[in-house]
Amino acid sequence: MSGVLRRLIAIVAALVLFAEACGVVLVNWVLGLVARNQHMSMAGVDPHAISVGAWIAGGLFGLFLVLCGILLLVIGIRDRTLGRFARITLIVCAVVHAVLGAFTVGLVGWQAFAVLMVVLALLVFVLVAYARERPAPEVEPGPEDGPPGAPSGAPAAA
């Protein structure tokens, strides 16, 4: 596979995750404002706690997406894979997108599901394209003079 294509897809995936991070932070900010202005309370929880919780959750998830975007950008610029931490972080990001995609079908619709699946496809492509190649296991040469399966130096079974 062309290195240029791998780099391009990694950089595009990074830009998509940066845009998604901005969208998640914006949606949670609006959600926090709505919860605060309407004095929403669930099971006796203070409305202020709900709005602050929405803001904190949006900020943390946005930071996670920005971290994943930075990792993808570094992969795209260097054109080589990163370490174990980066791979685990990107795998977690892909799993989160798969789970969110499953919930999104019922809650939002097929268009949002398609967007999340495109992001998932970009993440999986980068993970597969930059997978470390493992060397093939070395096979010891078998005995030349005996039948197959016989230990070397052992007489053939009658």
pLDDT tens column, 35-78: 888 887 778 888 888 899 999 999 999 999 999 999 999 999 99
Q: Quick check: 136 pLDDT over 80? A: no
If you ran DSSP here, which 8-state letter would residue 14 be given?
H
Burial of 57 (C-beta count, 10 Å sphere; 0-12/13-18/19+): middle
Phi, psi values for residue 55, rounded to 5°: -65, -45
Cα–chain center distance at 20: 13
How far apart, in whole angstroms, are the C-alpha atoms of residue 105 and residue 52? 27
CB atoms within 10 A of CB 93: 23
